[in-house]
Amino acid sequence: MMKKSMKYIALSPALLATLCTDTVLASGDGSDEPGFVPPPEENKLPPPPPRSISSAETLAACCCCPVTPMSRTEAKKPPRPPVMFTKIRTERQEDWAATPNDVNNLLKAMKDMINANYVMEIKSLAEISPDPEQNPILYRSGHYRFSFTPEERAKLRKFMLDGGMMIFNTGLGSKPFYDSAKQELETIFPEVHLQRLSSDHPIFHSYYDLDRVRYRSGVGKGYFSYQGNEPWFDGITINCRTVAVISRWCMAVGWEDTENDSYQAYQSEDAKKLGINLFSYAVAMRAWAKSEAGKMKFVDADTTTGDKLYLGQVVYDGEWKTRHAGLSVLLQTFNQKTDIPVKYGLSEMRLADEKIFNTPLLYITGHEDFRLRKEEAARLRQYVLNGGFLLAEACCGRKGFDLAFRNQMQAIFPEYPLKRIPDGNPIFNIPNRITQLGVTPALAAQLGSPAIKPELEGIEIDGHYGVIYSRFGLAGGWEMTPSPYALGYDGPGAIQLGQNIVMYAVTQ
């Protein structure tokens, strides 16, 4: 059976209750808390947008002279550029308008630097539309603690899941605002792990390569005293699309070209480049989300009895679920491809759960850095050494997960190295004979070829592989919707390779 995939994650009763909890996340405005940074002293509202003026010959009436042609200026109404950013206005002007020209100046920089012409609007949350077509990027900047109402959370959740993006800018690095933004996103998306984005995230490479940035000296001298040089964004990522980010350090003063080195902020040039990258990422991913919204997904409607293959997805502390339909699609196509009478069931479990020993195949994926708990690592070792099988992939080919997974395998299986599986291994022959696989456009551009030999790594134990790992993304291809920035196999290639891996797992 096939049905249309949902545009967003369905609201369970528990999730709905969380969104509708009308609680103040923290008392007070945070101005007496450690790490609070007040707004700059100057506080002006943003200037009105300029109007184009043209000169036209008109007739001006004069009571004491003949009518003669005169010149006067008239307002001209050229086509208005589309709205890209909507800055959120609150009741506290000194908070949201502490940097009144931040977005205006960013838009000017975008026009000068990349020839992108857009305008901004300023609205309250009550005035904004939940439709991303009307206001693609919402921007909230501030210094003080804040909280949304249940209705505002529901509106923002729908906006982001329907393709919009939300950006929180921490004014001068003020910690109470940063903490509030984190708490609100965790409340809006309780089922998703909010985490810091690694420097290989597409946001930091969507236009400029910004895996390293320049901070003002205030960042290293403030309450937090950050000494790194990687950009610091925390994000909510759903189905490989980051829908919301919080900038830990201030971008706004950089957009305004305010040169005060004591501020906890990015240097102006890098702040503008980060803003342009956010714009580029949001536009590309919104277009992708729109194009993929009507794609179909497979669901299991087979009620016949028979042997069952239960695929367990590993739950860990981090972004453990990157796609919501990929496994269903893979196993459905596996059943169609082979004559093996396997009915699949999917379950989500932590490695500490005893049920993993009743699961012949475990699957783990992610985008970012992660670390298994001590008992989870011990249980995974026991599971694999007892004959279990682990399939792992770095979703979208992300380096953060890749490095973390390699470190975990080395720690868990020190005597069994993770090594490249030879080209002639039977895993590449059954049920599909694979010599070349298509790759995503992003990976093709990186490698200089639209197709490559299949590449898998494995941990071999007593003559068979207990762990098989792909450093290139698979899940997006299983859904036939790899993201624009994915470094992975294309749809047909990912499905063929996935089918072969499942075949290997169930026949060993």
Give the pLDDT confidence of 22-45 residue by residue, as tens digits.
444 445 899 999 999 999 875 455
Mean pLDDT to the nearest integer, 3-22: 48
End-to-end CA gap in the chain: 30
pLDDT at 334: 86
Neighbours of 75 (CB within 10 A): 8
Per-residue DSSP letter, 98: S
As a whole number, mean pLDDT of residues 135-151 equals: 98
What pLDDT was estimated at residue 195?
96
Lowest-confidence region among 11-25, 109-123, 204-218, 482-496? 11-25
Residue 17 forms part of a structural domain:
no
Residue among 315, 307, 333, 321 nearest 497 (CA): 333
Strand, coil or helix: what is 142? strand
pLDDT for 114 equals 96
CATH of the domain at 353: 3.40.50.12140
Together in a domain, 304 and 408: yes
- Does residue 343 or residue 289 have the better pLDDT? 289
Instruction: Express each pLDDT in 79-103 by its tens digit.
Output: 889 999 999 999 999 999 999 999 9
pLDDT (0 to 100) of residue 336 = 82
Tokens of 88: 């959120």
Cβ 262 vs Cβ 172: under 8 Å: no
Q: What is the pLDDT of residue 284?
A: 95
pLDDT reported for residue 302: 45
Q: Are residues 241 and 348 in the same domain?
A: no
Within a domain: 71: no
Instruction: Give yes or no for a contact between 456 and 467, defined as CB atoms under 8 angstroms apart.
Output: no
Q: Is the domain of 386 the same as that of 453?
A: yes
Same domain, 356 and 457: yes
CA-CA-CA-CA torsion sign (222, 223, 229, 233): negative
259 and 273 housed in the same domain: yes
Q: What pLDDT shows up at residue 272?
A: 98
Spatial distance between the Cα atoms of 50 and 488, rounded to a whole number of angstroms: 46
> What would the mean pLDDT of 154-179 be, rounded to a whole number?
97
The answer to whether position 63 is within a domain reads: no
259 and 373 in one domain?
A: no
In this structure, the answer to whether residues 145 and 284 fall within a common structural domain is yes
The last residue of one of the domains, among 291, 307, 325, is 291
Residue 379 covered by a domain:
yes
Q: What is the mean pLDDT of residues 228-254?
A: 97
Averaged pLDDT for residues 402-426? 97
pLDDT at 309: 64
**Cα–Cα distance between 165 and 136 in angstroms, integer?**
7
3-state secondary structure 312-346: EEEECCCCCCCCCCHHHHHHHHHHHHCCCCCEEEE
The β-bridge relationship of strands 361-366 and 437-438 is unpaired
What's the pLDDT tens digit per position in 39-72? Answer: 987 545 555 444 333 333 333 334 444 444 444 5
Report if residue 62 sits inside a domain: no
Residues 256-291: pLDDT tens digits? Answer: 999 899 999 999 999 999 999 999 999 999 999 887
| Residue 150 is assigned to a structural domain of this protein | yes
Give the pLDDT of residue 47. Answer: 53
Please check whether residues 262 and 126 belong to one and the same domain.
Answer: yes
Q: For residue 350, which phi and psi values (nearest 5 degrees)?
A: -80, 155
- Spatial neighbors of 349 by CB under 8 A, at least 6 apart, are 312, 313, 314, 315, 355, 356, 359
How many domains does the chain fold into? Answer: 2
Answer yes or no: do 304 and 276 share one domain.
no
Q: Is residue 232 predicted with pLDDT exceeding 50?
A: yes
Q: Where are the alpha helices (DSSP H) in 20-101?
A: 93-96
Sign of CA dihedral 305, 307, 313, 315: positive
Domain boundary among 242, 274, 291: 291
pTM score, whole prediction? 0.85
Residues 326 and 286 in one domain: no
Structural domain ending residue among the three candidates 261, 291, 321: 291
Does one domain contain both 434 and 308? yes
What CA–CA distance (Å, rounded) separates 242 from 12?
22
Pairing relationship of beta strands 2-4 and 296-298 according to DSSP bridges: antiparallel
Residue 74: per-residue pLDDT: 53
pLDDT of residue 11: 54
- Could you tell me if 102 and 258 are in contact, meaning their C-beta atoms sit under 8 angstroms apart? no
| pLDDT at residue 413 greater than cutoff 80 | yes
Residue 112 sits in the same domain as residue 173:
yes
Domain annotation covers residue 51: no
| 274: nearest Cα among 246, 258, 240, 251 | 251
Q: Residue 68 falls within a domain, yes or no?
A: no
Q: Which domain holds residue 338?
A: 297-507
What are 159's two structure tokens?
């906006």
Eight-class DSSP state of 124: E
Per-residue pLDDT reduced to its tens digit, 284-328: 999 998 877 545 343 334 444 345 667 899 999 999 999 988 888
Phi, psi of 487, rounded to the nearest 5 degrees: -105, 90
